[in-house]
Amino acid sequence: MAKTPTIDKLIYDWNVHAADVADSIRDVELDDETLRDGLQNPSVTDPPVEKKIELLRLMSSLGIDAVNLGLPGAGPRARADITRMAEVIRDEKLGLFPNAAVRTVKADITPLIEIVRKTGFAIEAAAFIGSSPIRQYAEDWTIDHILKLTDDAVRYAVDNGLPVMYVTEDTTRSRPEDLKRLYTCAIEAGARRICIADTTGHAMPYGVRNLVTFVRQIVADSGEDVKVDWHGHNDRGLSVVNTLAAMKAGADRVHATGLGIGERVGNTPMDQLLVNLILDGISDRNPSRLGEYVRLVAEMCDVPLPHNYPVFGNDAFRTATGVHAAAIIKARNKGDDWLADRVYSGVPAGIFGLRQKIDIGFMSGVSNIVYWLREHQIEPEKRLVDEIFTAAKQHNKNLTEDQIWGIVKYHQFENETLLTDTLDEWKQRIAKK
């Protein structure tokens, strides 16, 4: 077998050879918002705390740095869940830094103070308030009113031992002069992290760059050691690219949720963000359990996983198109799984514990059928191949596994008894041979 050429000979990577590669994205901390902002989606299920704890363990194994545990002001159940999860993070040393969302009012902050005192475990207060002119108008707020709420809430939290992340909602539609006053006020009151929120998914990547750069200058002018977070939504379908833009512009931590669940069309998908960070060599986090993470979020929150969802959807590495399948088959015939995993895929399935799959359908060629039969240890006799090919061309969808097996059954066995077997019974007979 000939040796596969090196990757640089087979793939010219414009991501690497771009003119601004010196100004490339740096790895930053990740804050998982699945159990807070994700659960605000009106179609999801709030899972039992046992499932939430299972997800925390997966977050830890993936190298996620921080997690939002929920809104303690939402009621007794939320407070009980937050308390239990904080205890698990503490006792199992999961390495996740927890935070919890609170409005900039004492009534929301007090329950979090009580949880921290009960567990003896630090939880950051993510204190949020609307900042855009449209929110100010709708709420009948003045900027001075928002400043007072900000100062009172941040000082109250800090005086009671809570680290504070100050969050301006709808930052991407807020006036620069208002943001400068609000962030400066929060920093002077003791906040050591501030968060830029694209609450309505309004931003474009160049807008993200402008805004993050502007906010970093506010921090620099304060003279304090204050970190900057980015929190993105996906209303325009730009959440991942906007988050990458925020990282490039200097954000210290970015927020995301499993499967991108969240209000309206959702947030930045944590799984898609990790896929891109890992594939571009920005992050060395371990992707081996990312599939488990995605499936758990889908199952526990009752979120259907679209068949065409990137990487983890059923069709992500599946093809029945003759030309595509032929290229993969030729690569495999070279005895080279590395090549087969990349010749028609920008995402190597093997990195995420998956495999390219070749189906048989109305756009398939003979090579699809021969490959499928050999994969299932069946001799690709010409008459059998022709029968499957004819059936495939008569259907308007790909043949199911059972349909293909049914054709194989009737081709291989003409015995009347065997023909009356169910497909499962017949497969059991084959297994015993």
Residue 319: CA count within 13 A, CB half-sphere:
21
Identify the pLDDT of residue 17. Answer: 59
Residue 365, Ramachandran bin (φ over 0: left; ψ between -120 and 50: alpha; else beta): beta
Tell me the pairing of strands 318-319 and 66-68. unpaired
Identify the pLDDT of residue 129. Answer: 97
Please report, to the nearest 10 degrees, the dihedral formed by the alpha carbons of residues 230, 234, 236, 240 taken in order: 60
- Residues near 21 by beta carbon (within 8 Å), at least 6 away in sequence: none
Identify the pLDDT of residue 406. Answer: 86
- The CA-atom distances, in angstroms, between 267 and each of 65, 196, 200, 234 are 18, 14, 10, 5
Identify the pLDDT of residue 343. Answer: 84
pLDDT in tens, the chain (433 residues): 556 666 667 776 666 655 554 457 888 999 999 999 999 999 999 999 999 999 999 999 999 999 999 999 999 999 999 999 999 999 999 999 999 999 999 999 999 999 999 999 999 999 999 999 999 999 999 999 999 999 999 999 999 999 999 999 999 999 999 999 999 999 999 999 999 999 999 999 999 999 999 999 999 999 999 999 999 999 999 999 999 999 999 999 999 999 999 999 999 999 999 999 999 889 999 999 999 999 999 999 999 999 999 999 999 998 888 788 888 888 888 877 888 888 888 899 999 999 888 888 899 889 888 888 888 888 889 999 999 999 989 999 999 988 998 888 877 765 445 555 676 776 676 665 5
Identify the pLDDT of residue 331. Answer: 82
Identify the pLDDT of residue 67. Answer: 98
Per-residue exposure over 382-414, b if at least 16 CB sit within 10 Å of its own CB, e if not: eebbebbbebbeeeeebbeeebbbebbbebeee
**Quick one: how far is CA 341 from the chain centroid?**
22
Two tokens at 380?
């690709």
Identify the pLDDT of residue 251. Answer: 97
Catalogue all structural domains in the chain, each as residue range(s) with its CATH number.
27-300 (3.20.20.70), 318-432 (no CATH)
Element (H, E) at 30: strand 29-32
φ, ψ of residue 100 to 5 degrees: the values are -145, 140
φ, ψ of residue 230 to 5 degrees: the values are -125, 130
Indicate the DSSP class of residue 346.
Answer: S
Identify the pLDDT of residue 416. Answer: 45
pTM score, whole prediction: 0.89
CB atoms within 10 A of CB 79: 20
